[in-house]
């Protein structure tokens, strides 16, 4: 297949813009990309799709979601509007724990069926790769149930799913005040079982006063690394717990949220090459005041990704392009950083080196947009500008 008359954003160095470009696909890989004038004759014989000047980007990557869950938390949304805080609702047994109750009551098939419409919304916003976490089961059985449902998404939809173990997300009521026992009795056994069943690609945790401390999480991250799994961490979302530096000491792929990140945390991430995953949907939903230190991350050379954090509590957001808009408007990312954040940098946050840019040999996961300039993707609010998505070399019908 040959795409012609494209405005190409290769994302190989900044936007990596090429006007009047062609992209040749060979099966599920990119064979060639460049100006139409330079197209090797051999590719001229391929079936042609004329992009008519439209913008072509890599398929978008959502590197942080909680797309598997049951129930919704619209009532908490109302409570917060009446003045309750996210942490107060969590401490009163609502928050994550209310989603835990609904998720425990659902079967694996039901969890999959509930997730697919959310996945379809992400796909409609341009996603071709989506990370999905566990973390609403909080028993060995229910964490594995979530992960099995997450793994099945990729058999139902044209999208790559990477799954993350997040048993250390919240403390269930029967472990109240016993975080270390929970890690020993639930998080570690579910991690070992999930790895033995081939259900996970990474390990995550929620490091926060309302969740787990760095010292609680030490045995979990040690075990993850011993099993050969990369780690990542929900860090410094509501308070500074030193989570980002702890994650960086374990060569974390990413530290996510980061509103309360310290200069020490930034330095540790820069040294370890840990990606900063910016989640403006949670900041917006919780009406937080403190922004992540974007300028300091930028000047320290920490790569920044942007994700939806799609979840029923702090970020009921199912559009990557809206996440990009929020990253620009709320946090002052440039539209170029925002698009890098959902392509090349998001690929790094998932250790996927075969996607996120347009170059020969990489996967043929592409988006064709009803747009002329890449900044349009961040500039429009809630628009569905996707013209066509190509996944593994095949256009969506
Ligand atoms: O990324 N911060 C912790 N975990 C999720 C929220 C999950 C929830 O509230 O259900 C997050 O924001
Ligand atoms: Fe999250």
Residue 172's pLDDT band, with cuts at 50, 70 and 90, is very high
Over residues 330-342, the pLDDT tens digits come to: 999 999 999 999 9
Cα dist. 213→66, 115, 292, 305, 331 in Å? Answer: 21, 30, 20, 24, 27
Assess contact for 247 and 168: CB atoms under 8 A. Answer: no
Assess contact for 66 and 100: CB atoms under 8 A. Answer: no
The ligand 1 atom at the shortest distance from the C-alpha of residue 237 is 2
- The pLDDT of 253-265, averaged and rounded, is 98
- The pLDDT of 180-204, averaged and rounded, is 98
Pocket of ligand 1 (CB under 6 A): 66, 95-96, 99, 206, 234, 237, 282, 309, 311-315
The ligand 1 atom at the shortest distance from the C-alpha of residue 99 is 10
Model pLDDT, residue 320: 98
In a 13 Å sphere around the CA of 386, the CA atoms on its Cβ side amount to 26
Per the structure block, which two tokens stand in for 235? 């860090």
Centroid of ligand 1 to alpha carbon of 36 (angstroms): 46
pLDDT, averaged across the chain: 97
- pTM of the full predicted structure? 0.98
CA angle 146, 320, 391 (to 5 degrees): 75
Q: Which pairing describes strands 48-50 and 2-9: parallel, antiparallel, or unpaired?
A: parallel
CA nearest to 306, candidates 357, 249, 258: 258
- Measured in whole angstroms, the distance separating CA 268 from the mean position of its chain's CA atoms is 22
Check pLDDT > 90 for residue 45: no
Residue 397's pLDDT band, with cuts at 50, 70 and 90, is confident
What whole-number distance in Å separates Cα of residue 282 and Cα of residue 64?
12
- The pLDDT of 8-17, averaged and rounded, is 98
Check pLDDT > 90 for residue 93: no
CA angle 173, 83, 99 (to 5 degrees): 35
Model pLDDT, residue 46: 75
Pocket probe for ligand 1: among 97, 169, 217, the residue whose CB has the most ligand atoms within 8 Å is 169
Model pLDDT, residue 205: 98
Assess contact for 29 and 358: CB atoms under 8 A. Answer: no
Residue 277's pLDDT band, with cuts at 50, 70 and 90, is very high
- The pLDDT of 6-34, averaged and rounded, is 98
Check pLDDT > 90 for residue 328: yes
């Amino acid at each position: 297949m040959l795409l012609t008359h494209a405005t190409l954003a290769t994302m190989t160095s900044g936007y990596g813009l090429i006007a009047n470009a062609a992209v040749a696909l060979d099966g599920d890989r990119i064979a060639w990309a460049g100006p139409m004038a330079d197209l090797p004759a051999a590719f001229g014989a391929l079936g042609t799709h004329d992009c008519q000047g439209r913008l072509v980007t890599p398929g978008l990557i959502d590197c942080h979601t909680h797309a598997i869950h049951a129930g919704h938390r619209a009532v908490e949304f109302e409570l917060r509007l009446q003045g309750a805080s996210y942490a107060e609702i969590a401490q009163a047994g609502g928050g994550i724990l209310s989603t835990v109750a609904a998720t425990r009551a659902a079967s694996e098939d039901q969890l999959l069926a509930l997730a697919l419409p959310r996945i379809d919304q992400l796909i409609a916003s341009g996603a071709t790769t989506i990370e999905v976490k566990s973390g609403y089961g909080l028993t060995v059985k229910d964490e594995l149930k979530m992960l099995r449902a997450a793994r099945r998404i990729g058999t139902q939809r044209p999208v790559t799913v990477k799954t993350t173990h997040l048993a250390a997300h919240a403390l269930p009521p029967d472990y109240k005040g016993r975080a270390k026992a929970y890690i020993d009795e639930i998080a570690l056994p579910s991690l070992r079982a999930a790895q033995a069943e081939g259900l996970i690609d990474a390990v995550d945790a929620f490091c926060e006063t309302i969740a787990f401390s760095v010292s609680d999480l030490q045995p979990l991250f040690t075990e993850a690394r011993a099993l050969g799994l990369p780690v990542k961490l929900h860090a410094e979302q509501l308070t500074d717990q030193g989570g980002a530096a702890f994650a960086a000491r374990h060569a974390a792929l990413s530290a996510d949220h980061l509103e309360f990140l310290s200069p020490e945390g930034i330095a540790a991430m820069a040294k370890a090459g840990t990606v900063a995953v910016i989640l403006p949907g949670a900041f917006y939903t919780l009406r937080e005041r403190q922004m992540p230190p974007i300028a300091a991350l930028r000047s320290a050379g920490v790569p920044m990704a942007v994700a939806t954090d799609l979840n029923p509590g702090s970020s009921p957001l199912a559009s990557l392009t809206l996440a990009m808009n929020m990253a620009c408007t709320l946090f002052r990312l440039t539209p170029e950083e925002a698009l890098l954040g959902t392509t090349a940098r998001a690929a790094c946050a998932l250790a996927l080196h075969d996607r996120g840019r347009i170059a020969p040999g990489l996967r043929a996961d592409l988006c064709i947009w009803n747009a002329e300039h890449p900044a349009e993707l961040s500039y429009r609010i809630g628009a569905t500008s996707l013209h066509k998505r190509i996944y593994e070399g095949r256009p969506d019908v």
